[in-house]
């Protein structure tokens, strides 16, 4: 038998694919009439689909749930699923938003109704704290390719929406080039400290014009780059060796690279700022 996923109990019992004994012993109840295998670890996407099934497959996924279905990364797996457009009385484990969603702000993914990338980013940017909002909007931009202008257009149509000013601030700094929440936090730190806004995913080309490297973020005009190195850069021997080769290659091209780890970002932000300022000053930036 293939991998068992979420089931509607009444349908599975009627089809004979499970028995009531199976439901008691092999499954756990997620919502009314919706069950998951006992050994299944529910992801954000799984929780989204379970909530949609609970609605009788009629609701529209929104917020975190829509983002999960759209393939957005870095989402919490234990946050409650979010829905719009359902008439059912919802249990405590599901969030149902009452605001209107336009017909052009809904799409279908894998046969499931969800808010479009632009509408999803619009909601996430308003409903989160500023930093988390930027992280989540960055992630939507990166995963879906939607542009900031499309999100801003929804904001323009809803000038009195709750937390709309926060969303507008988020959109001034959002950037789909961030490849992780930590890269977003690093970019925000630099902007808050008064540095010129860095470019993300800077391409480095060989003499034939082919892109052979990318730098996480930085300032191409001064050839100063900032590289965020996750844990695998230090624990994976092959990755570490590749990093050495990469940094030497960039140095030969005249780039100054400031390397940042999670420890730096958590405990030594002043050091990041100091090292970045020194690199830019040495590269010729005045002030």
Backbone phi, psi, residue 211, to 5°: -75, 120
The residue with tokens 């809803």 is 158
Long-range contacts of 96-105 (CB under 8 A, 24+ apart): 96/59, 97/62, 97/63, 97/123, 99/161, 101/60, 101/62, 102/157, 105/154
**Domains of the chain with CATH codes:** 1-40 (no CATH), 41-173 (no CATH), 181-283 (3.40.960.10)
Return d(Cα 272, Cα 15) in angstroms, integer: 61
Report pLDDT for 2.
Answer: 40
* Residue in 110, 109, 51 with CA at minimum distance from that of residue 85: 51
User: Tell me, what DSSP letter sits at residue 105?
Assistant: G
Q: Which residues are paired to 114 by β-bridges?
A: 61, 107
- Whether 13 contacts 21, CB under 8 Å: no
The tens-digit pLDDT sequence of the chain (287 residues) is 344 599 999 999 999 999 999 999 999 999 999 999 999 999 999 999 999 999 999 999 999 999 999 999 999 999 999 999 877 677 889 999 988 899 999 999 999 999 999 999 999 999 999 999 999 999 999 999 999 999 999 999 999 999 999 999 999 999 999 999 999 999 999 999 999 999 999 999 988 999 989 999 999 999 999 999 874 545 556 666 767 888 999 999 999 999 999 999 999 999 999 999 999 999 999 86
Q: Is 171 helix (H, G, I), strand (E, B) or coil?
A: helix
From the CB of residue 199, how many other CB atoms can be counted at a distance below 10 Å? 16
At 1 the pLDDT is 34
Per-residue pLDDT, 3: 46
d(CA 157, CA 155): 5
What pLDDT shows up at residue 238?
65
Give dist(CA 131, CA 135) in Å, integer.
6
Return the pLDDT at 243. 76
Rounded-to-integer distance, Cα 51 and Cα 32, Å: 10
Residue 93 and residue 277: Cα distance in Å, rounded?
Answer: 47
- Please report the DSSP string for 131-180 in residue order: HHHHHHHHHHHHHH---HHHHHHHHHH-TTSTTHHHHHHHHHH--TT--S
Which residue in this structure is represented by tokens 């400031």?
A: 258
Record the tokens describing residue 106, joined without a space: 């809904």
């Amino acid at each position: 038998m293939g991998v068992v996923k979420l089931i509607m109990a009444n349908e599975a019992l009627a089809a004979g694919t499970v028995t009531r004994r199976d439901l008691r012993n092999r499954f756990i109840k997620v919502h009314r009439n919706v069950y998951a295998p006992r050994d299944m670890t529910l992801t954000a996407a799984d929780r989204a689909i379970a909530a949609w099934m609970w609605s009788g497959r009629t609701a529209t996924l929104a917020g975190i749930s829509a983002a999960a279905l759209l393939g957005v990364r870095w989402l919490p797996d234990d946050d409650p699923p979010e829905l719009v457009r359902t008439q059912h009385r919802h249990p405590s484990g599901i969030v149902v938003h009452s605001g209107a969603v336009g017909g052009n702000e809904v799409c279908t993914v894998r046969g499931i109704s969800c808010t479009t990338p632009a509408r999803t980013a619009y909601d996430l940017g308003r409903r989160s704290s500023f930093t988390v909002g930027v992280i989540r909007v960055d992630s939507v931009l990166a995963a879906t390719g939607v542009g900031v202008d499309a999100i801003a257009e929804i904001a323009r149509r809803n000038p009195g929406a709750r937390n709309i000013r926060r969303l507008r601030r988020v959109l001034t700094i959002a950037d789909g080039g961030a490849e992780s929440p930590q890269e977003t936090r690093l970019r925000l730190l630099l902007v808050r400290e008064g540095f010129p806004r860095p470019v993300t995913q800077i391409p480095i080309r060989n003499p034939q014009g082919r892109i052979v490297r990318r730098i996480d973020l930085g300032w191409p005009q001064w050839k100063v780059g900032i590289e965020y190195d996750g844990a695998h850069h230090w624990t994976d021997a092959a990755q570490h060796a590749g990093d050495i080769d990469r940094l030497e290659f960039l140095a030969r091209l005249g780039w100054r690279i400031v390397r940042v780890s999670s420890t730096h970002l958590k405990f030594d932000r002043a050091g990041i700022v100091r090292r970045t300022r020194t690199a830019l000053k040495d590269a010729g930036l005045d002030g």
